[in-house]
A and B are shown apart, each in its own frame.
Chain A
Amino acid sequence: MLSVRGLTKQFGEFTAVNDLSFNVDQGQVYGFLGQNGAGKSTTIRMLLSLIRPTAGEINFFGQSLFTHRKEILSQIGAIVEKPDLYKYLSAMEHLNLFARFGGHRPDQKKHLLLLEKVGLAQRAHSRVGTYSQGMRQRLALACALVNDPSLLILDEPTNGLDPQGIADMRQLIRSLCKEQGKTVLVSSHLLSEIEMIADRVLIIHKGKKIAEESMDALTEKASQLKLQAVPEKRYVLEAYFLSLTSQ
């Protein structure tokens, strides 16, 4: 589904992403982890053609992003960092707008169902300026889903959500993957969240890949390390992440 080879981005002398390679298979929830400034958002921006890579290849669905941008992006929905939406538009108007951008006719019934799915149906016609950060995050997810993409790229999708919102988002991501066969690439600083939803995890540090494992393999490796910092089994990813990034 997604193949990245030798991806590099330099800003002057600073190398934000360094020779990064990974694959995301169809139907996976692929966790993307790294400390602040590790290069996660820069990588995601390159995947969405917001930033031009200095070197490397990005292929989606067997096609190069650089030569088939339009076809590829029409199959991707994304949230990039904190989603700042149009404060003077309603949720429904946002969905209409992004449907048009995707080349589709707005479908009010479909959009209302989508807003129900993210828990915003009651506020479908309220201006986004009156929404909480969590509601904006939910709307951003609805905007990412409006054109029924086969791949979702979500950069910190649980930012600003309350515990119930985080649980709902987790449930939604899992159901998108299991029930609708969508592939999800999700970055988060909440390691426990990634641990609960990801099938496979990529960890980057200072722009370089330091680990890429399935969750099962990672759990096994972590137990072999006999990590002292593991307070409970479900925090194994956090312990493994800290052991790698502190080396």
Chain B
Amino acid sequence: MFASILYTELFKIFRRPRTYISFGAIAVIVLLVQFALRVNGTEFIRFFTDSQADTFEIPESQILNGYFVCVAILHLILIHVPLLIALIAGDMIAGEAQTGTLRMLAAQPASRTTLLLAKFSASTIYVILLLLWMALFALGGSLLLFGQEDLVVFRETDLHIISQQDVIWRFVAAFIYAALALTMIAALALLLSVFAENALGPIVATVCIVIVFTILQQLKVPVFEQTINPWSFTTHMLGWKGFFYVEKTSEGVTINGSIENPMALVKSGAILIGYTVLFVFIAERVYRKKDILC
């Protein structure tokens, strides 16, 4: 029964024209960034290298490669992808309530728990496909356009050089981590969707919550740094960057296959999973007992 309902939910998602807006938006944004870096990439890199002029020895032409462009794209757009996720996941229950199809589904033999879990699973598959699409354009496209070299990752006071032989698994891990983070956003949107009878409400509310917590995180004031930010999901959503921070020997040589702070990544991943489970659990409890009046 679950597989049948999951199939129908996926069928509905991918028969709806709105779904393809997200795929189109990602393709356009990635292509625009690639075009901009192709034309003005040297100036873009100089922005980073100027602050580290004393320690920097690699030519800019080598820094601007496919891996570097992909990391730059992920920095630029991963923070905005939650909006695209909310467009679909926020619509899952509230959109059907608004159009009146929810009562037809809820009058079917499948339990409400099965229906909700199928909708959440369909949202998760949508997240994964969206990220695969992003990977195809951001990583595949950038490698085609800019070629392969060692990856240089800039940090505030430091830079990490990752050998090109050591970089692909890091992208795979980063995309898997991003899938975890965006699945949590899908769970949040689904939870808000359960309370609403209009699709716009949960979509806007999800985006607002992400914006508010992102601002709190960027303020970097002690009161939030010590209380909210360590547990805020927006803090941990950015954990994917950790896969590009490598350990160095005492001589400053990067160690292939290493991660600077693996425990922080594990903790962030666990917090994201925790939020996802919590949001889906609450959504199930509420939806199971909800009177469907619309």
B1-55 residues at the A interface, CB under 8 angstroms:
1, 4-5, 7-8, 11-12, 15-17
What total of A-B pairs shows CB separation below 8 Å?
Answer: 80
A interface, size bucket: 20 to 34
Interface status of A52 (Cβ within 8 A of chain B):
yes
Contact with B along A36-64 (1 / 0, CB 8 A): 00000000010011111000000000000
Whether A73 contacts B109 in the complex (CB less than 8 A), given A50-B291, A103-B4, comes out as yes
A109: min CB distance to chain B, Å: 20
Q: How far is the CA of A195 from the CA of B78 in the complex (A)?
A: 62
Query: Are B292 and A101 interface neighbours, CB within 8 A?
Result: no
| Chain A residue, CB-CB nearest to B6 | A100
Interface residues as binary, A48-87 with B (CB distance below 8 Å gives 1, 0 otherwise): 1111100000000000000001110110101011111111
A83-B100, A89-B15, A97-B11 given as contacts; is B4 within 8 A of A51 (CB)? no
B256 within 8 A of A: no
B111: which A residues are within 8 A, CB to CB?
69-70
A93 close to B (CB within 8 Å): yes
Interface residue from B8, B104, B292 paired with A83 (Cβ < 8 Å): B104
Known: A50-B292, A52-B291, A100-B4. A73 touches B17 (CB 8 A): no
Name the distance in Å between B122's Cβ and chain A's nearest Cβ: 13
- Residues of chain B contacted by A69 (CB below 8 angstroms): 109, 111
> Which secondary structure dominates chain A's binding surface?
loop
Pick the most buried of A74, A87, A103: most chain B CB atoms within 10 A of its CB. Answer: A103
Q: Which of B12, B105, B292 contacts A51 (CB 8 A)?
A: B292
- 25 A-B residue contacts at CB 8 Å? A45-B292, A48-B107, A49-B106, A49-B107, A50-B106, A50-B107, A51-B292, A70-B109, A70-B111, A73-B109, A76-B107, A78-B107, A80-B104, A86-B12, A86-B101, A93-B11, A97-B8, A97-B12, A98-B104, A100-B4, A100-B5, A100-B7, A100-B8, A102-B108, A103-B109
Chain A residues engaging chain B, CB cutoff 8 angstroms: 45, 48-52, 69-71, 73-74, 76, 78, 80-89, 93, 97-98, 100-103, 140, 143
- Footprint of A on B, CB under 8 Å? 1, 4-5, 7-8, 11-12, 15-17, 99-101, 103-111, 289, 291-293
